Amino acid sequence: MPKINVRKPLSLRPQHLPYIKGLFHLLAAIPIIYLISSVLNGSAGGDPVEYIIHYTGMGALNTLVAVLLISPLAKRYKLGVLMQTRRLVGLWVFAYASLHITAFLTLDLLLEWQLLLSEIVKRPYILVGASAYLLLVLLSITSINHIKRKMGRRWQTLHNFVYLIAVLAPIHFYWSVKSEIIEPSVYLVIFAGLLLLRVKLLKLKSLLGLNTQ
């Protein structure tokens, strides 16, 4: 009788964590290196400022998608070690969002704060994006272990605001485009799907009488 090879499920152990984190850092940093290279060698398009703002905004959206994917993937494939990378990826969301808003304020508005107020009135999507960013600031500051311990159960309540960010960010993107809505529409669908998945997981845990955190 021929021997049947049964493929073992993917297994990640605690000793793999440094390598996983190193890989995630590399994957998140490479696009920034590419952006710098594009700007320096003049391949950032006819409007480098717009290119930088859009590029860093997309980086923030993509890393946010990665954050929301970690938990369901870890639970689906029983990869508990993967859960320990959420803070790392979350901080990269903050890094890209910081580059995005810094580029907008310095390269587009040239730090003209009065102009910023008028822009908010004319373009409400800026206020939506700023709200998401302020929430990101709070989550990043409270990701420090010392602060996390001090906050206790309130920490989890605060960090559930990542789901509000997941609503605000694609809306900000959708409202910011002038004509091409296919790409932002795709992100709206992606984020809606990830949030729906989260709701289904919470309902399942509630039915099973498990802790929902």
User: The tokens of 212 are what?
Assistant: 């929902």
The answer to whether 61 touches 122, Cβ cutoff 8 Å, is: no
pLDDT band per the 50, 70, 90 thresholds, residue 120: confident
Mean residue pLDDT of the chain comes to 88
Rounded distance between C-alpha atoms, residue 140 and residue 58, angstroms: 19
* More confident: 171 or 212: 171
pLDDT band per the 50, 70, 90 thresholds, residue 119: confident
User: The tokens of 62 are what?
Assistant: 């993509």
> Is the model's pLDDT at 17 over the cut of 50?
yes
This model's pTM is above 0.85: yes
> Is the model's pLDDT at 212 over the cut of 50?
no
Q: Residue 15: its pLDDT value, please? A: 87
Which pLDDT tens digit goes with each residue over 171-185? Answer: 999 999 877 889 999
